[in-house]
Structure 1
């Protein structure tokens, strides 16, 4: 059994009108983010930056460091496919993007590593030894 909502062609409220507008594929395509989502975490020894970029290959990424700005860009090479897909909905399509991150002074710029697995680009940025948190107990005199 299928439930169908009838409203005689009239929009009952703003939410219905907005939902209709967003579901219009022309508008929805423009509302979808054109850059990958990012997670940034930190522990005592390093920073972890993760970018969700499915559908790309390792060769598509370019990672560069200019002073304290870490830039991640990607450009997907066009593949000539005899079978063209006609999408009814497309929520991720990263043909090209650039994300930049300002690194703090505590970073060891010579120890930045990248790994791309299962659609996630993982960057590990090590901290300098002198910048790592040091914990100790302080005696009361």
Structure 2
């Protein structure tokens, strides 16, 4: 499936190349350590940024780790829940453990790695990857013929 943002098929946007050049390795870098599914992710492109939204309701911002190294953005989470109830002659102890990791490879020199930001609000982890000037859309300009 080809994602297109513009009508000029000869000039694909960085967003098109982000998906179509196998820049996301879904087979080896994305996993859940339990038999649960990975959280849903939306990737959005604006003129200035790439925005990744991860649906993760019921979590807290401290449950996440977001790293950017060697053009790979990695989002991971570990959450442990434990409870213990003691009554009369029995003890009931319950615990659960959830973890996942998602990785996205970004084209070299496409984003300002030092300016990536993240925030968690209302069950959505939002990561903003600011684009470098070189990959931002440039206005059309007319070239004078000499």
Match of 2:79 in 1: 76
Match of 1:89 in 2: none
TM-score, normalised to structure 1, is 0.64
Per-residue CA deviations over 1:54-104 (Å, capped at 9, x if unaligned) read 11111100111120110000011324265x9xxxxxxxx982100101112
Counting strand residues as a fraction of each chain, which structure ranks higher? 2
Q: Distance in 1 between matches of 2:128 and 2:118?
A: 6
Q: 1:100 aligns with which of 93, 100, 103?
A: 103
Counting helix residues as a fraction of each chain, which structure ranks higher? 1
Structure 1 residue 139: Cα displacement: 4.1
Match of 1:124 in 2: 128
Q: Where in structure 1 do 4 or more consecutive aligned residues deviate above 4 Å?
A: none
Q: Distance in 1 between matches of 2:65 and 2:52?
A: 15
Per-residue CA deviations over 1:20-57 (Å, capped at 9, x if unaligned) read xxxxxxxxxx6xx5210000010110000000011111
Q: Distance in 2 between matches of 1:35 and 1:81?
A: 28
Q: State yes or no: 1:65 paired with 2:61.
A: no
Count how many residue pairs are aligned between Structure 1 and Structure 2.
Answer: 103
Larger Rg: 1
TM-score, normalised to structure 2, is 0.62
Q: Give the gaps of 5 or more residues in structure 1.
A: 1-29, 85-92
RMSD: 2.5
Q: Give the gaps of 5 or more residues in structure 2.
A: 1-34, 86-91
